């Protein structure tokens, strides 16, 4: 019996948190306003009908956020805590290296980020495998648009993945078939 494919879910938590806080909320999000990361893994498993392995990249230069790390472990993510010199984007470097390494593995990839620093590595993974990006559609780097035209799938963290308990205060273009005036009254 052939081994079942795996989807690797690579989470750039800093990027998602910064987008949520700076661009959507205009303030630091409270814990209950942050994504339910277990829903991201569930989405990956259900959407592509195969096992998913979650890798959550964290910058931990001074101290490890043990409560958050334990929560990630409990829901099935593998936290990857990184350190480096000041000014070094350790999370970006680690995700880029992981995407490069995944070229040598027979696996599918979902990247959770809006960051254009990963476009080139994602381009190299457009080789027949399933490839996707999850983030906030209106804040996603434009480099991902070209990749979507080449077959990469694109998912919205709120609307497709349903990773939030409450609706976020986002302004987005709404297809008329999805418009519900009750949401605005």
pLDDT at 171 over 80: no
Q: DSSP letters along 118-181, please? A: GHHHHHHT-SSS-EEEEE-GGGS-THHHHHHHTT-EEEETTTTT---SS---------GGG--G
Average pLDDT on 40-48 reads 97
Q: What is the pLDDT of residues 46-92, one digit of tens each?
A: 999 999 999 999 998 778 889 999 999 999 999 999 998 888 999 99
How confident is the model over 9-22, as pLDDT tens digits? 999 999 999 999 99
Query: Which CATH fold topology does 7-174 show?
Result: Rossmann fold (3.40.50)
């Amino acid at each position: 019996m052939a081994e079942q494919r795996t989807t690797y879910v690579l989470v750039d938590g800093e990027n998602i948190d910064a987008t949520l806080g700076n661009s959507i909320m205009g303030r630091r999000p409270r814990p209950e306003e942050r994504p339910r990361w277990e829903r991201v893994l569930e989405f990956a498993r259900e959407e592509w009908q195969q096992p998913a392995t979650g890798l959550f990249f964290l910058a931990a230069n001074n101290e490890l956020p043990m409560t958050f790390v334990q929560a990630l472990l409990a829901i099935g993510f593998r936290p990857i805590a990184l350190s480096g010199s000041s000014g070094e984007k350790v999370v970006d470097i680690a995700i880029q290296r992981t995407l490069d390494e995944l070229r040598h593995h027979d696996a599918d990839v979902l990247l959770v980020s809006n960051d254009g620093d990963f476009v080139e590595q994602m381009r190299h993974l457009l080789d027949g495998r399933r490839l996707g990006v999850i983030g906030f559609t209106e804040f996603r780097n434009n480099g991902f648009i070209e990749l979507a035209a080449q077959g990469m799938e694109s998912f919205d963290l709120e609307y497709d993945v349903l990773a939030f308990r409450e609706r976020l205060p986002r302004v987005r273009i709404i297809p008329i078939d999805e418009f519900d005036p009750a949401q605005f009254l």
